[in-house]
Amino acid sequence: MSIPIQVEGLTVSYGRGAKRVRAVQEVSFTVAEGECVGFIGANGAGKSTTIKALMGFIFPEQGETRLYGAPSGDPEGRRHVGYLPEVALYYPFMRAGELLTLYGSLSGLTRADLRRRIPIVLEQVGLGGRERELLRTFSKGMQQRLGIAQALIAEPKLLILDEVSAGLDPLGRHDLRALLQELRKAGRTIFFSSHELSEVESLCNRVIMIDQGRLCHEVTQAELQAVGRKQSLESFFISTVRGGAAT
Amino acid sequence: MRRGMGPIIRATLLEAVRRREMGVVLILMGAMLALLLAARVVGLERPAAGTLLLNLGLTLTVMAAHLVTLLVAARQLPQEMEQRTLYPLLARPIARHVMVGAKWAAAAVVGTGFFYLFVLPVWWLVPRLECYDSRTLVQLLVLQPPALMLTAAIAILTSVYLPRALAVTVALLVVFGTDYIVRWATRWPVLVWIPNPMRLNLVLRYTDGIGPLSSVEFAALATWTLLWTAALLGQAMLRFERRPL
């Protein structure tokens, strides 16, 4: 099978005329099968814009993005992808089970698959037994857990998670880390953005840093281990972005 | 049906049924049915009063069905965007135009279901003391689904260009206002051809005891409506395919 993620010379701008802002400039990277890649950067650095372009929600001004060899706008490329958006307020009128049925059906799961998968993914994200509860009663953290469940429902080969730990309490973050470790061991390809750099450090075998719309550094597993011996990823990130020593 | 349409239609129907606004409309329609039932029990002596009640009941049913269709259709896409639920939907292997088509179909189904749910009890409850042509009634019943499809297409189209509140307002003006514009603007005959779901409302024709449309007129009206529906829906799909989200 072809490479899960290919981003080639991606440039994305927002606005028109004098108000035109370049959010991402000539970003290129790939994510190979089975890799777990962290995508880090300050607020407004271009992480979510890159991910949106990757998913085909926005269109590049230049360059191209591909999922499993298919251009991002092509639904076929998304067949093996599970995606978690940065923030989403899932339908308050629905029950957790109904939401997962909707997303699972759209991914091509049969009724039998859904019956089998829904309790499993709800259990995986710590929402076991809440299948019949209305989403309007769910807290922000529970909504985020449900977001992860919908990304996992069709057992995708590639997970693209935007701000994966946003809204989760320490317990939730701990459970999420364990879940991602498990998925990684199972051979899933994971590409995620997060501000929780300790999480990125512990999970990823590669980290891509973005600053002001441009890729500023790519750290491999060996470098990460070397960095870990000397300083934390957070200190390394700050010194890379600010160009000086961090405390 | 294109793959992916079914689950989106089901979700939209679920939303329409569970929303409080729908409960309010159903209560109001129920109150109207109760009044008609009371009139039937008490008994009407003057035939004109019966016709007035029949006209009122059928007109309110048609208007309410269009209103429900419009509200369901116009808020779908803006709401998905505001709540960001659009992203997990479009992260699935479905094309954007399929989603637009599913939202349109669901709105039309909700409106049509609503229309048939109330039109038959209204017709049955009001004592018919004057002569009405049943062939006109059949045409009225047959022409409403295409009219509701056109209303849904108008609302969906406005919603891909405008924010929710503005989309609802513009769609309301087009659906309920075009009939008045056409009636008053006799200088411009071309206006007769603009999309106008209310042109398919044969309630007055029925309660005035007028006979049915000729088969040519009936076919032309249905074809004109379906062509406009396809054109407006196609434009909405095209626009949504190209829109950055």
CA distances for B5 relative to A101, A111, B10, angstroms: 14, 16, 9
Residue that wins the pLDDT comparison between B199 and A232:
B199
Residue A122: closest CA among A98, A150, A95, A94:
A150
In A163-174, which positions are buried (b, 16+ CB within 10 angstroms) versus exposed (e)? bbbbebeeebbe
pLDDT at residue number B1: 58
> Which of B1, B12, B13, B85 best tests the A interface by mutation, with the highest count of A CBs <10 A?
B85
In chain A, residues with a C-beta closer than 8 Å to the C-beta of B97 are none
Cβ–Cβ below 8 Å for A83 and B91: yes
> Which of A14, A80, A94, A106 best tests the B interface by mutation, with the highest count of B CBs <10 A?
A106
Q: What radius of gyration do chain A's Cα atoms show?
A: 18
Looking up tokens 């606005």, which residue turns up? A15
Residue A98 tokens read as 């109904």
Give the tens place of pLDDT for each residue, A181-233.
999 999 999 999 988 888 888 889 899 999 999 988 888 878 877 777 777 78
In chain B, residues with a C-beta closer than 8 Å to the C-beta of A106 are 4, 7-8, 89, 92-94
Q: Is A76 on the interface with B (CB under 8 A)?
A: yes
Identity (one letter) of the amino acid at B32?
A: M
Cβ–Cβ below 8 Å for A102 and B245: no
Q: Is A52 on the interface with B (CB under 8 A)?
A: yes
pLDDT at residue number B222: 95
Model confidence at B88, pLDDT cuts 50, 70, 90, reads very high
Determine contact, residues A10/A65, Cβ cutoff 8 Å. Answer: yes
3-state secondary structure chain A: CCCCEEEEEEEEEECCHHHCEEEEEEEEEEECCCCEEEEECCCCCCHHHHHHHHHCCCCCCEEEEEECCEECCCHHHHHHEEEECCCCCCCCCCEHHHHHHHHHHHCCCCHHHHHHHHHHHHHHCCCCCCCCCEHHHCCHHHHHHHHHHHHHCCCCCEEEECCCCCCCCHHHHHHHHHHHHHHHHCCCEEEEECCCHHHHHHHCCEEEEEECCEEEEEEEHHHHHHHHHHCCHHHHHHHHHHCCCCC
Residue B48 tokens read as 């004109």
In chain A, residues with a C-beta closer than 8 Å to the C-beta of B84 are 85-89
In chain A, residues with a C-beta closer than 8 Å to the C-beta of B88 are 83-85, 88, 103, 147, 150-151
Q: Is B2 on the interface with A (CB under 8 A)?
A: no
Question: What distance, in Å, lies between the first and last C-alpha atoms of chain B?
Answer: 25
Q: Looking at the predicted structure, is the pLDDT value of residue B92 above 70?
A: yes
Cβ–Cβ below 8 Å for A106 and B14: no
Give the tens place of pLDDT for each residue, B33-84.
999 999 888 887 788 888 999 999 999 999 999 999 999 999 999 999 998 9
pLDDT at residue number A221: 78
Q: How far apart are CA B26 and CA B114, in angstroms?
A: 9
Cβ–Cβ below 8 Å for B94 and A150: no
CB pairs under 8 A between A and B: 80
pLDDT at residue number A239: 80
Q: Which domains does chain A have, with CATH numbers?
A: 1-80+202-247 (3.40.50.300)
pLDDT at residue number A244: 52
Give the tens place of pLDDT for each residue, B108-147.
999 999 999 999 999 999 887 788 899 999 999 999 999 9
B157-169: average pLDDT: 93
B157-172: average pLDDT: 94
Q: How far apart are CA A23 and CA A212, in angstroms?
A: 7
pLDDT at residue number B54: 92
Q: Is B189 on the interface with A (CB under 8 A)?
A: no
Cβ–Cβ below 8 Å for A85 and B93: no
Give the tens place of pLDDT for each residue, B1-32.
567 799 999 999 999 998 888 889 999 999 99
Write the ipTM.
Answer: 0.89
Give the tens place of pLDDT for each residue, B220-244.
999 999 999 999 999 999 999 989 8
Q: How far apart are CA A150 and CA B85, in angstroms?
A: 11
The residues near B175 (Cβ < 8 Å, ≥ 6 apart) are B66, B70, B151, B154, B155, B197, B198
pLDDT at residue number B182: 80
CA distance B186 to chain A (A): 42
* pLDDT tens for the 247 residues of chain A, in order: 589 999 999 999 988 888 888 899 999 999 999 999 999 998 889 999 999 999 999 999 999 999 999 999 898 889 999 999 988 789 999 999 999 999 999 999 999 999 999 999 999 999 999 999 999 999 988 999 999 999 999 999 999 999 888 888 888 888 889 999 999 999 999 999 988 888 888 889 899 999 999 988 888 878 877 777 777 788 888 887 777 544 4
Q: How far apart are CA A194 and CA A163, in angstroms?
A: 5
